[in-house]
């Protein structure tokens, strides 16, 4: 019987559970990376400020007794904060970044297969399609067996796993992803602009301090401002705001072009070859957004296995 005539899809609970597990694991590691990056930034800022304060007040304090430690406290605290900043930065730039990329690729590979299965698109349009899906999920699990998984949220809303017509696919998958990409791009642009303003403010302060440095004792603060500017610039670079903005907007535009072409064609679900081609092209377009992260991990781990980036989906695992 043609599975596309059924009102619902069976045999997807295991694949969906696997997707939710790797999506939750990806989010866990991404949240940890963001946490470490933020704390590394603010600890470095606080350490630089306290170190300069300590350098300026320590020579004026007593050289013995309890008062000596009071004047030297800012410098000692600064050293501790800078050490903590280095620790958090190392945590953000270590293996966790590679693990996040792998988990995201695994989750999106499975999710893309689920959508193809729901729409009965090749290779999921044959009687043994459940076995094909199971083999793909099992291969992903084998590729990821060295990573500790995180359980998904037990209170997550029950997913819609109904059969997909091409119209429903466009509405539920394509339009939703277009909106998601553009929303995330706006959020990242706002964050990038906020840090750019901070850097410009530091530049103005540095220029003002340079003018008065010859007649006052603020020369030491010029170096502090330079350090803070470098710290914020490095933070923005690590967050990859501009790269993500460009990738998300480009993907949204490509998906919208595909959607418009399909709607203008006047074709329907009955045009099987064309509707299958549309769905496959949309999934391939969304896979491009994820392939950069997979390629980055491959460059860092050339001897390890990974999922096929052509089977990867969109960035929703990081939601």
Q: Which residue has the higher pLDDT, 294 or 279?
A: 279
Highest mean pLDDT among 23-32, 72-81, 240-249: 23-32
In whole angstroms, what is the distance from residue 4 CA to residue 95 CA?
43
What tens digit of pLDDT does each residue of 18-74 get?
999 999 999 999 899 888 888 888 888 888 888 888 877 776 767 766 667 677 788
Q: Which residues of 116-134 are buried (b: 16+ CB within 10 A; e: fewer)?
A: bbbbbbeebbeeebbebbe
Please state, rounded to an integer, the average pLDDT across all residues of the chain: 80
pLDDT at 4: 37
pLDDT at 149 over 80: yes
Dihedral sign for Cα atoms in the order 216, 218, 222, 223: positive
pLDDT at 300: 43
DSSP states along 267-298: --TT-HHHHHHHHHHHHHHHHHHHHHHHHHHH
What tens digit of pLDDT does each residue of 94-108 get?
678 788 888 988 999
Q: Which residue has the higher pLDDT, 35 or 209?
A: 35
Tokens of 124: 């999921």
Q: Which residue has the higher pLDDT, 301 or 233?
A: 233
pLDDT at 281 over 80: yes
pLDDT at 138: 92
């Amino acid at each position: 019987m043609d599975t596309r005539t059924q009102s619902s899809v069976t045999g997807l609970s295991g694949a969906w559970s696997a997707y939710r597990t790797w999506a939750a694991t990806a989010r866990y590691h991404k949240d940890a990376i963001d946490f470490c990056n933020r704390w590394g930034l603010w600890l470095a800022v606080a350490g630089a400020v306290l170190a300069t304060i300590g350098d300026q007040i320590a020579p004026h304090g007593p050289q013995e007794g309890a008062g000596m430690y009071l004047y030297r406290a800012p410098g000692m605290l600064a050293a501790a904060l800078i050490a903590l900043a280095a620790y958090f930065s190392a945590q953000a730039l270590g293996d966790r970044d590679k693990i996040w990329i792998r988990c995201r690729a695994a989750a999106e590979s499975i999710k893309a297969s689920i959508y193809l299965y729901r729409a009965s698109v090749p290779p999921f349009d044959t009687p043994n399609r459940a076995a094909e899906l199971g083999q793909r999920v099992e291969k992903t699990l084998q590729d990821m067996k060295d990573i500790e998984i995180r359980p998904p949220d037990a209170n997550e809303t029950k997913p819609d796993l109904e059969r997909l017509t091409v119209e429903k696919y466009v509405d539920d998958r394509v339009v939703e992803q277009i909106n998601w990409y553009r929303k995330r791009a706006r959020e990242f642009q706002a964050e990038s602009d906020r840090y750019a303003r901070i850097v410009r403010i530091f530049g103005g302060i540095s220029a003002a301090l340079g003018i008065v440095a010859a007649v006052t004792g603020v020369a030491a603060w010029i170096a502090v401002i330079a350090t803070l500017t470098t710290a914020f610039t490095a933070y923005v670079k690590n967050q990859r705001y501009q790269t993500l903005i460009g990738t998300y907007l480009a993907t949204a535009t490509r998906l919208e072009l595909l959607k418009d072409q399909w709607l203008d064609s006047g074709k329907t679900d009955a045009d099987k070859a064309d509707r299958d081609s549309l769905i496959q092209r949309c999934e391939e377009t969304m896979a491009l957004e994820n392939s950069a992260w997979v390629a980055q991990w491959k460059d860092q781990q050339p001897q390890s296995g990974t999922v096929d980036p052509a089977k990867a989906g969109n960035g929703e695992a990081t939601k």
